[in-house]
Structure 1
């Protein structure tokens, strides 16, 4: 993949961009096998490749520069903006929308936040595109001061971006190296972005997490559903369920499915999707480990999709000592996956697959089917 920003040394995010894509994919497969030890009884499915460019459904753009001439991209070492509107990783819909958003900064007189001086209002623009081409836009600001102007100029922005469905303002008053704050003000009638993945409609609220690569996420959910279907469990837990992607793909009549997630926003999204689908999947806000340790009985199968740190020793120990027969473990960090597997020796990895969520980087997803020995 050719990138002028990389060549000009303006952005170094794509650390593998100089490697042919086939070499990247082979390296990720080899890394996962090395981390898991590649035992003889573990079947590796062929890795799932991604388009090399145009795959990223989410843009997290730091706003710099001036109101009249804003930059949308990242900050350099001095805290000043580097414009990356032409980044080839983003979906075509996102790439097409960014110039209109830069124009909107000027029209609504949104002063970019200047990190060195700690002045200004607009910190980040967060843009997500659905598989149907609809957009969700979030303005991350230091205060509520610009909300009235944003609301006033929204009709003009809708004219420029007819696919814009959800618009919100996220408040981040602190001077911190984080992308967003806790409080969200939704400015549109629509509260969620519909993400059609395979035959499942997922609803995404502004503060909900969704995988950044829709095509590879769809393959991830299909494979997990196939493994669950082969075992036909009567009860399934989806721990760290997010907006319910795994749970809703595995739900079917007669199967008890429970999803647990700390984010109340994500749980609200999952409940809406379940209600529309008309099946009985149940979603609750809470800590996955606390839920498991406090449950009166274990399910037949557990799906876990934790953050990079993994599920940790307590949940690993509970799974090891429980009656759970199968675990489907989706990991974005093969090292933490290996640590968790070492703590569950009775649950043996039988099948595994690398799914390349993040081309041009060292990151990937590893999906593993565990079976009690």
Structure 2
């Protein structure tokens, strides 16, 4: 069967694949269909033709899988934020564990490595401590609206999430279950306030308007709650009136910040930042350490599960008295500080300058004196000179970006031959690629998948390596 682009076919989904797509087989050819579950029989349209596979768009579920459930949120089939709400959480964990195992064994060639079942999150919903909503004068139409015979106007004030693959259109949310319930209630309040007071949303095509984003952050271990209003213009009178209304309606808010981004960049980071109410930051903890989290600072999105991820990394490190730890790609130093309690000293290395400054600040705030941070590109600063200066590491932690480690860093690790290595990853496919190289020098003993993002296909993993 040729399966040409545009062709409609009936498919039986056999398994779950990378990035949350279901897999069907037609004469041995894999067909990937987003929004499906193993066991579904579906009607789909071929939208991409490749030499060894096809991609198809789900048109209709003809026979639902016994593992398919009704999503909690009405937007689940459209919004890109919760791509697996139609799958029971126990099955999500099963598929995520299978995904990591497939990458480690097939891409990494590591058939003897122990791969544990995925570690689930205690909270399946409302687990995020940060949400960033966007505003637009163009909303994403529903499938029902698109299929209508008459014209449907997509203009207006839309507040919610970017439609998948579109920078200019927003899915106008009527509910959201990722962050605590007050998060959506505040979004709804701001949307209605702007409509009532003729405050225009930002037009990404014409670069005009006022409201750009609404970022909400809440602490897990404290009662701190932040609202960050991101605007295209600086109008403090308008912001003050809106803030006063917010504080009266939502007494849980402890701080309000206004980021003013008057550039074409779509980021929520403002060129100017003004604190409207409260201290301008929230305070939270990971383990025994306290962190001041400013509006645009990085902090693990699922606080409770981040602690479990770090505990796994520390367990795999098996720290002993007097040992030196290197933390590559250390970010704002949360994992470095977490390791410092059981290490003689820790050196964190990070490319982003603001992250290094935040890491130093966090160490100082927590009165930790056995942690140092340096700025630099790993492939450039990770040299013998650095080892001579800070001491040879007994344990090395690496938590690279989604693309994995630079080949020069992998090569350097193979040369350095640190006795114990722990690899933390947000992409098991690139981790598997790096582990395959490291396996020439290291024994990759075990891998623990950790689910940081329920209702999505994303999964983190921690690998334990020992020098051969």
Distance in 1 between the 2:342 and 2:396 partners? 18
Q: Secondary structure at the match of 2:382?
A: helix
Aligned residues: 367
Shift of 1:307: 1.4
Q: Does 1:295 align with 2:366?
A: no
Shift of 1:92: 3.1
Shift of 1:230: 4.3
Structure 1 or 2: more helix by fraction? 1
Shift of 1:346: 0.9
Q: Does 1:2 align with 2:72?
A: yes
Shift of 1:250: 0.7
Further displaced range: 228-237 or 242-251: 228-237
Task: Give the alignment partner of residue 276 of structure 1, picking from 356, 362, 365.
Answer: 365
User: Residues 162-177 of structure 1: matches in 2 within 5 Å?
Assistant: 162-176=251-265
Change (3 A) 1:276 1:12: closer
Cα offsets for 1:314-348 (capped at 9, x unmatched):
11111111142222111110111111112322123
Residues 330, 365 of structure 1: 8 Å contact kept: yes
Q: In the alignment, what sits opposite 2:455?
A: 360
Shift of 1:231: 4.6
RMSD between aligned residues: 2.8
Change (3 A) 1:73 1:234: same
Q: In the alignment, what sits opposite 1:339?
A: 433
Distance in 2 between the 1:70 and 1:264 partners? 37
Residues 317, 421 of structure 2: 8 Å contact kept: no
Shift of 1:106: 5.7
User: Residues 1-373 of structure 1: matches in 2 within 5 Å?
Assistant: 1-6=71-76, 9-37=77-105, 39=110, 41-50=112-121, 51-65=123-137, 70-76=157-163, 79-84=168-173, 86-103=175-192, 105=194, 110-131=199-220, 132-143=222-233, 145-147=234-236, 149-151=238-240, 153-176=242-265, 178-181=266-269, 183-187=271-275, 188=277, 190-232=279-321, 234-252=323-341, 255-280=344-369, 281-293=371-383, 295-297=386-388, 298-344=392-438, 345-373=440-468
Residues 80, 114 of structure 1: 8 Å contact kept: no
Cα offsets for 1:46-105 (capped at 9, x unmatched):
421122211122111011249xx8432124469343222511122234234333433554
Change (3 A) 1:79 1:10: same
Q: Secondary structure at the match of 1:215?
A: helix
Q: In the alignment, what sits opposite 2:7?
A: none
Further displaced range: 267-276 or 308-317: 267-276
Residues 24, 360 of structure 1: 8 Å contact kept: yes
Change (3 A) 1:241 1:86: same
Shift of 1:191: 4.2
Distance in 2 between the 1:58 and 1:108 partners? 27
Q: TM-score, normalised by structure 1?
A: 0.87
Residues 398, 422 of structure 2: 8 Å contact kept: yes
Distance in 2 between the 1:17 and 1:129 partners? 23
Give the gaps of 5 or more residues in structure 2.
1-70, 139-155
Residues 260, 272 of structure 2: 8 Å contact kept: yes
Cα offsets for 1:228-265 (capped at 9, x unmatched):
34455621122222222211111127611122233343
Structure 1 or 2: more strand by fraction? 2
Distance in 2 between the 1:109 and 1:282 partners? 51
Residues 230, 270 of structure 2: 8 Å contact kept: no
Distance in 1 between the 2:249 and 2:161 partners? 24
Give the gaps of 5 or more residues in structure 1.
none
Residues 256, 278 of structure 2: 8 Å contact kept: no
Highest RCO, 1 vs 2 (Cα 8 Å, sep ≥ 6):
1
Cα offsets for 1:171-224 (capped at 9, x unmatched):
444434x43346351415624321222322223222222222222111101112
Residues 356, 374 of structure 2: 8 Å contact kept: yes
Change (3 A) 1:185 1:108: farther
Distance in 2 between the 1:223 and 1:194 partners? 24
Residues 207, 266 of structure 1: 8 Å contact kept: no
Change (3 A) 1:181 1:199: closer
Distance in 1 between the 2:176 and 2:434 partners? 36
Shift of 1:267: 3.0
Change (3 A) 1:220 1:154: same
Change (3 A) 1:277 1:316: same
Change (3 A) 1:100 1:282: farther
Residues 325, 343 of structure 2: 8 Å contact kept: no
